[in-house]
Amino acid sequence: MKSALKKTPIIIGLSLCCLIASCNVDQKKAPVNKENTSTQTIATPISKEFLVGSWLDRSPAALHFTLLKDGTARSDNMRTLLYTHWTLEGNTLSLRAKSIGNGSESTSDEVYTIKELTAHKMILVHGATELVFVKKGV
């Protein structure tokens, strides 16, 4: 009986080693799922529907905005800079902005490159500036 008890830990150890070795998967041979619904990359066309929603600016400026399905846009917390429309071409997001500060009005298009886009986060680049946004309610 003592002999059997002494061999039990060895048998359990060998069994665990075999189990671990059989679970080891060669990463080069593992199938790759190229479809990831929570992330859009620059290599794939960005869907306009993926951009629709309210985006919260994580910088101190807090330039929050909402993109609507019909191509209209709105500023969520800015009184003198009003977003009115948006377009998407490739990975370029254009926001039409109407400035109503200082008693005069002007309209301009703000053009950004979409560097990263997930279901929860968007990084826009304009020149050397990167703006990080998170999607509201996600």
Give, in order, the Cα–Cα distances in Å from 64 to each of 7, 21, 55, 61, 99.
67, 51, 6, 9, 15
Question: How does pLDDT run across 30-83, given as a tens digit for each residue?
Answer: 333 333 444 444 546 788 888 999 999 998 888 899 999 999 999 998 888 899
In the chain the beta strands, taken as DSSP E runs, fall at 39-40, 53-57, 65-67, 73-75, 81-89, 92-99, 106-118, 121-126, 129-135
Domains of the chain: 40-135 (2.40.128.280)
The model's pTM is: 0.66
Question: How does pLDDT run across 88-104, given as a tens digit for each residue?
Answer: 999 999 999 999 887 78
Whether 89 contacts 96, CB under 8 Å: no
